[in-house]
Homo-oligomer: A and B are copies of this chain.
Amino acid sequence: MIETLASSGCHGGRQSFHAHQSRITGTPMRFGLFVPAHSGPRPVLWCLAGLTCTEETFAIKAGAQRFAADHGLILVTPDTSPRNHAGGDAADDGSYDLGQGAGFWLDATQAPWAPNYRMASWLLDEMPEVLLQLAPADLARQSIMGHSMGGHGALTLALKHPKRFRSVSAFAPICAPSEVPWGEKAFGAYLGDDRAAWAAHDACALIAGGKRIDEILVDQGMADQFLEAQLRPERLEAACARAGITLRLRRRAGYDHGYWFIQTFIEDHIAFHAERLA
């Protein structure tokens, strides 16, 4: 059963928020959904958010619906982790960068995270069925994008599932999580100390290991407070150059890590995906 938490007219279509009891995470899981007014099956763009975010963050702050409406795209904004909503019993950690709000878009293998923190399987194996119950989704046409931790999620899932996602883009993604504090902390907790297991969840390592997609679109603010310590776009640039992947990495002077930056350039990202989903 899918619960509708809210539903409102928006740009000729509808923006809604939902919860369902996930068989994969074992908890209630929430997501936002924008369905444009167009008739007939519509392509789907998955929008993955970053640390501390919920299903509402990208939906409320990115300003994507206006352009999704223009192009006839369905937008899905999943929550970033299992949570202790009514009926939920997910592990947590006091810090903002581990546990609730910080699922890192992967399936954890370590205690206490493994039973619930299965964000990749939830997104890939369960959410498409859930979506079909709510919207005229054309699952033959899916793309994925994300911000920060969600940019990491979009890049790694697109690299591992190139036939599922026609295109991928990111705002300020964590490009090489195995090599930065956010990723080291999260991967250590979710995947354990054996760094060999981390490579399957690191965009740069996946490319170095042979995964290929045609192209990647990234916007990165040059006033981003996390640029040097956590994001490392130059690693992605080097990995793509060696692999022959077309990376359009646009360095944006004066922009920081937040949604004021995202809303400024969202129109381009939506158009990029729409063209590849046509």
Contacts and interface: CB of A to CB of B under 8 A. Distances in A.
Interface of A: 8-12, 15, 60-61, 63, 65-66, 221, 223, 252, 254-256, 258-261, 263-264
Interface of A is mostly: mixed
Contacts of A261: 8-10
Nearest to A59: B260
A145 B111 CA distance: 53
Contacts of A223: 9
Contacts of A260: 8-10, 15, 65
A260 B68 CA distance: 14
Contacts of A66: 63, 263-264
Q: How many copies does the complex hold?
A: 2
B61 A258 contact: no
Contacts of A252: 9
Contact of A12 (B60, B61, B264): B264
A10 B255 CA distance: 7
Given A8-B258, A10-B263, 15 more contacts: A8-B256, A8-B261, A9-B223, A9-B252, A9-B255, A9-B261, A9-B264, A10-B260, A11-B263, A12-B264, A60-B61, A65-B260, A65-B263, A66-B263, A66-B264
A264 B10 CA distance: 6
Contacts of A63: 63, 66, 263
